[in-house]
Structure 1
């Protein structure tokens, strides 16, 4: 078992080449805060926007796949965190801090699959807000993952 685990965790030359070949663009003032968010969310397209509900489409890029060609679970977690908070975003509004995230991984998405990613506000209790994020394969309608995100929005100072 230990030998198989060690072999599985071994970085392949292909994986090493993929990381070495990454092109990191200079930071732009387009509202995206970091390389991490740019890396994970680049290519996301807004499909529908309603108060309390947003729907995006996204084609799974090579940079977010694991060695089996599936959308990586870490990428799904990043998408749930960022997209879940997007339904709460208000220009000049308070910053939101994720305090709890729960994700059910139900299926896999492959390289170049087109996903529908929807988020909606579940509710608010004082400074706490809850959102639901669902990732679906746009062609088959199969649910890839479902995540719930709880965020805290500190009160803005009146000083």
Structure 2
């Protein structure tokens, strides 16, 4: 199975996951769904996260993860699934506020964002329940506790 992850570190921060960590977390989602493809993960500052969140979601504040699925034109043999933009400071702050290990919260954000790239969402209650149940299962396989039990 061909899965590749391009990681762009646009910030320097403590406790950033390695490229291997990101690949392992993405693989856990894609292999579970039988999907192959490429994902770009960009680690950004609060300023970059806020600008993108304002432009694409109309929310003028930084956020933990943004997902940008790539819509492949019909007949074009491209394996790009999309991009994840993750704000290092927001992830670290949330982990601290929720008393979670920073690495576990990073894994959750990558799993969550990758599921968005595959079309999962949490706009309504039924979708949210399905997505959260899948996140719990995938994270448990990685040895990470239920992120929603905090």
**In which range does the TM-score fall when normalised by the shorter chain?**
under 0.3
Structure that is richer in helix per residue: 2
Q: Which one has a bigger Cα radius of gyration?
A: 1
Task: Provide TM-score, normalisation by structure 2.
Answer: 0.27
What is the TM-score of this pair, normalised by structure 1? Answer: 0.26
Greater share of residues in strand: 1
